[in-house]
Structures are given as structure tokens and as C-alpha cells.
Amino acid sequence: MTADLDSPLQKKIYIAGHRGMVGSSIERNLQAKGFTNIVTRTHAELDLTDQAAVQKFFAQEKLDEVYLAAAKVGGIHANNTFPAEFIYQNLMVQNNVIHQAFVHGVKKLLFLGSSCIYPKLAPQPMAEEALLTGQLEPTNEPYAIAKIAGIKMCESYNRQYGETHGIDYRSVMPTNLYGPGDNYHPENSHVIPALIRRFHEAKLANAPEVVIWGTGTPRREFLFVDDMAAASVFVMNLDKAIYDQHTQPMQSHINVGFGSDVTIAELAKAVSDAVGYQGKISFDPSKPDGSPRKWMDSGRLNRLGWNAQVGLAEGLNRAYAEFQQAIG
């Protein structure tokens, strides 16, 4: 039996950043749905900051859709230490991929941003309307500026070429993500992978106590990465009339969050439960807390018909199992 070449499952889909946590999850999601024509390139095979190389790639591949999940990412220390690299590399990747997608007839593109696009003191929960209403968090401003530029680039191409060329470029903004493919580096990881590693090592060493930085009172929202991938595919495939009905031409990005947040103390307890650490958890209030709260308003996405599926306890269990596999 021959494959139906007109089937939607035959669409040629490029995932930029397929080795990253979100990109790899999007690839798994599409494969599970039966998509068979997925295009990927490693950084060694295609440097997305190289305009000529990206132009050649798009000319050769003749793609139908693009998920733009490639980015230079890092924690506070990396953002503070390498601000020029963060703004330059992310702007170059976005400019090259979005523009060459347009030049070579790609009708649909999804750009993945970050919750750091919102002002440092944005009202909680942070709604899409908060974009460009105040100053950004200084430590990751260059990265945030690049991500804002990506949103505005998609919107600008839609406004200028949407009707004449039939393009439809969309943006999604994830909250804090965790799960398979995360970075568990002792110094450079985010809060959940850092806590998983610390509690795991404390369990192996039979340490009586684990001390967490700060007071434990700040609240954070966490989304399992497979939920983020599912939301990305959902938004990419929404009927255009419905998408347009829930967005505006110059405010078209959509937040993707879990829907509720937890304190760092509650998170630490949940991670210790997942790992099976039996000792005491204490806090060091002499260390910085960061923002008191970072919570995304996902109402727009919920009204479109999507909600997160993986709760924190289940997600942490799955993340810990993957961490154990990764370290052998």
C-alpha cells in the first residue's frame, strides 16, 4: 500500500533545535502522531547564525512548516557573563530562520520564546498584554530583547506578507520547563534539575540535611516539557480564523503555563519525595531569593481549548527516572 502523498502526515517539517529539551520533545510528539517527514540538522551540520548556510538549506529542503526551538540558553550566571553572545546569536538564528522560511515559501512557522520577555515587575499572573509595558530583568535583558524581536519579526512578516503570500507565523511563550533532555550540570542548571541532582547526591551520601538558597517563599510555575511540546503542536495547527479571533496582529503571542505555581519550599519537598531523600530540608535566608513570584496567565491558551496534563509529582518522577538513566 503506497503512502498518500497529500496526507497531512507527509508535510515536510523542520525542527530547529531538535537536540534541545523542547525541540526533542516536539520531535517525539510529531512522531507519535505519525508525521514521517521530519527534517533535523545538528549544529555541526548547519550553523543557524550563518546566513548563507541557512539560505542554502531552505533552498534545498523546500519545507512546509518550521518549529523554531533553537536558541542559546543559560541561567543567570551565563546571561550575566556573556550578554553579547546571547543577544547576537539569538538574533542571528531568528533572523536567518524566519526570513529564509519566508523567502522559500514556508507557510507556517512557530517561534518559541520565553517568559523573561515580560517586565521584571509585571503584574501576576503575567498576561500577554504585559509585553513592552516596563523594564526587563537586567540579568537576562539581552536574551529577552532577542526573544521579543522574534515575536515582532513573526508579527511583522504576517502584517506585510500574510495576505499576499499566505504565511502564518505564530509565537508561544513557555513558563519554566523541566523533564527529559534537561541540563543537570551542577553550576549551570535551572532550579528543578539542580534540586534533583542535589537530593540524589544527598541520598547516596546519606546526608542528614540539604540546605536550599533563600527563604523558600518565592513562588514559581513549572511545566513538564512534553506538555510544552503538545501545546506547541496544538497552537501550530489551530485553525487560522480561531487563532486570529483570540489574538491581535501586534500582540499575537500565546503564553504556555501549567496554570498554578508553588513555593520553592513546596518544590523542594516535592523533589525530595520524587528522589526518595529522607533527610531534613532547610533554607539559607542570607542567599538571594530572586523575584517574589513569576506566574504566567495561560487563560488565552485555555480558552483556545488546551490545558496542561502532567502534574508536578508525576512530572518530577519522570524527570528523576530520566536523570538516573542519563547518569547511568
pLDDT in tens, 196-206: 999 999 999 99
Share of the chain above pLDDT 90, in %: 88
Query: What pLDDT does 6 receive?
Result: 66
Euclidean distance between CA atoms 183 and 7, whole angstroms: 37
Query: What pLDDT does 74 receive?
Result: 82
On average, the pLDDT of the chain sits at 95
| pLDDT tens readout for residues 277-324 | 999 999 999 998 888 899 999 999 999 999 999 999 999 999 999 999
Whether residue 2 has pLDDT greater than 50: no
| pLDDT tens readout for residues 217-226 | 999 999 999 9
Place of cell 539542580: 194
Query: What pLDDT does 185 receive?
Result: 80
Whether residue 188 has pLDDT greater than 90: no
Mean of pLDDT values over 23-44: 97
| pLDDT tens readout for residues 226-274 | 999 999 999 999 999 999 999 999 999 999 999 999 999 999 999 999 9
DSSP code of 166? Answer: -
Query: What pLDDT does 327 receive?
Result: 87
Neighbours of 126 (CB within 10 A): 24
Neighbours of 120 (CB within 10 A): 16
Rg (CA), the chain: 20
Residue 325 vs residues 182, 220, 313: alpha-carbon distances, Å: 12, 27, 19
| pLDDT tens readout for residues 84-129 | 999 999 999 999 999 999 999 999 999 999 999 999 999 999 999 9
Long-range contacts of 189-198 (CB under 8 A, 24+ apart): 189/75, 190/75, 191/220, 191/264, 191/267, 192/222, 192/267, 192/271, 192/316, 192/319, 193/319, 193/323, 195/267, 195/268, 195/271, 196/271, 196/274, 196/275, 196/316, 196/319, 196/320, 196/323, 197/323
Joined together, the cell numbers standing for residue 127 give: 498576561
Whether residue 19 has pLDDT greater than 80: yes
CB 212 within 8 A of CB 285: no
Share of the chain above pLDDT 70, in %: 98
Euclidean distance between CA atoms 232 and 110, whole angstroms: 8
Euclidean distance between CA atoms 272 and 159, whole angstroms: 49
Crossing angle of helices 312-327 and 191-204, rounded to 10° = 60
So which residues are the catalytic ones? 143
